[in-house]
Chain A
Amino acid sequence: MTRYFTDEHEWIDVDGDVATVGITDYAQSQLGDIVFVELPAVGTSVEKGKDAAVVESVKAASDVYAPITGEVTEVNPALEEDPALVNSAPEGDGWFFKMTIGDSGQLEGLMDAAAYKDFVASL
């Protein structure tokens, strides 16, 4: 399984022809306490770089973008009851949704863990 990162602080795990999407630890630390996550409906077509979900912190609402184009196949049911999972386990149990991979070529433009680490250090 390979994990990629976007410069908008989403991560995407690729496992065969399914990808899992969430936001990074850096993203959750910037947002602060998350009180609500609005997830796309299963079956929604999402487009690379376009709105896919919304996270509401105490302070503000923030958009989460789709790292690649594809169709949502599953959303994380745990986030409805416990949105704070995004704070406590952003890159694990706090995942947002699973999706198909519309164009695997889009993954090549994303960062790997080392590149993302450098990117965050540069902010």
Chain B
Amino acid sequence: MTDHDNDETLEDLPLDALPLDAWHRARGARMVPFAGYEMPIQYEGIVAEHNWTRESAGLFDVSHMGQLLLSGPGLDAAVEAVLPIDLSTLKLGQQRYSLLLDDDGGVLDDLMVSRWPDALYLVVNGATKWDDMGTLREALPDDITLNYLDDRALLALQGPKAAEALARHATGEYPLSALTFMRFGRFRIAGHDVTIARAGYTGEDGFEILLPADAAAEIADLLCAEPEVQPIGLGARDSLRLEAGLPLYGHDMSPEVSPIEAGLIFGINKRRRTEGGFPGADRIIREINEGTARKWVGLKLEGRLPAREGAEVFSGADPVGTVTSGGFSPTLGAPIAMAYVAAAHAAPGTALDVEVRGKRLAATVTPTPFVPHRYYRGS
């Protein structure tokens, strides 16, 4: 028995321990190398953890992600020269999805940008954070300060019962319920100052909690003592985001694709789509106007056999694309995938085939998310 696993195991580098390393092991997690760290892939089992998150609330340790703080004179203009974001519409307390692009418009990373008082707070992918810091440092003027917040941990509490569980512990100037999707605020949990954003990577309502690394175990224990909350590993994080139609950097997007091909036009804010002035703008504006030769799509497969990253997509005898992420959807009880296909075959409802170990599996182009989002946008 041998895995065909192809995760980003950086096996030639020594692995670092995250603040909750011992905490995960004490809870029976199976640890695997991921993004240069030892991370929990699962505790009880991926499907059980997946379903628990959809029905109750799951606690994810995402401390491998890079937390960066940018500050300095002329900050907004400097950052707009690097990211295709419109900072004039990003108010204090708001968070927004953005993209780090190379000069050809290829995707170097996807990230979140939050407006803090006198600073912008960025969360970038763990596997790319060192490169991102290099790219940002090189592109930003010298008087913009870039702080890497490596003394912080990041926890995500996700699921329909996340709000009620977290509200028992988070106190602040206003109640947690005042936060809507993609807003954040300062709160206190067990005497520690934390920043809580209503956001996540599962498609469920949920929160991301930025906290001091030395308080992470205490706060994780506190949250997991709530009957609604269980710890969830990276395995379920992947199956949840796949169902939610959320792309994963390094798989569904890369320097080889533009955000327009990747269906990430929402990461290019409206004003910037005409004004440009960010890396790769020429190509991206051209693609917005003229379309792209290939497009990112969701696929639903017949049967039970999942198609994984790298599987070829066919229309009849013609190869028309490649799967970039795929797996078995516990919620739908069926295999689902994300793929790049030629634009002529990208319309929802298009019948295609995916080849897995020489077998052709029937697939249908399907709008994403595969499982509806349940973000909290206010009552």
Q: Which residues of B contact A68 (CB under 8 A)?
A: none
Q: Shortest beta-carbon distance, B88 to chain A, in Å?
A: 43
Q: Which residues of B contact A56 (CB under 8 A)?
A: 305-306, 328
Q: Which of A23, A30, A35 contacts B328 (CB 8 A)?
A: A35
Number of interface residues of A (CB under 8 A): 25
Cβ contacts A72-94/B at 8 Å (1 or 0 each) = 00000000000100000000000
- Contact: A9 with B1, CB < 8 Å? yes
Q: Shortest beta-carbon distance, A67 to chain B, in Å?
A: 11
Q: Which residues of A contact B304 (CB under 8 A)?
A: 35-36, 83
Asked if B3 is at the interface (CB within 8 A of a chain A CB), the reply is yes
Q: Which of B4, B5, B327 contacts A58 (CB 8 A)?
A: B327
Main secondary structure of the interface of B (DSSP, over half): mixed
Q: Which residues of B contact A (CB under 8 A)?
A: 1-5, 41-42, 45-48, 50, 235, 238-239, 304-306, 308, 327-328, 330, 335, 357
Q: How far is the CA of A9 from the CA of B3 in the complex (A)?
A: 12
Main secondary structure of the interface of A (DSSP, over half): strand
Give the one of B1, B48, B327 with max A CB within 10 A.
B1
Other A-B pairs, 4, CB within 8 Å; known A30-B1, A61-B3, A61-B308: A8-B2, A31-B1, A33-B45, A58-B46
- Contact: B41 with A59, CB < 8 Å? yes
Q: Which residues of B contact A55 (CB under 8 A)?
A: 1
Supposing A54-B357, A58-B239, A58-B330 touch, asked if A36 and B306 sit within 8 A by C-beta, the answer is: yes
Give the one of A30, A36, A38, A59 with max B CB within 10 A.
A59
- Contact: A38 with B1, CB < 8 Å? no
Asked if A60 is at the interface (CB within 8 A of a chain B CB), the reply is yes
- Contact: A62 with B1, CB < 8 Å? yes
- Contact: A61 with B45, CB < 8 Å? no
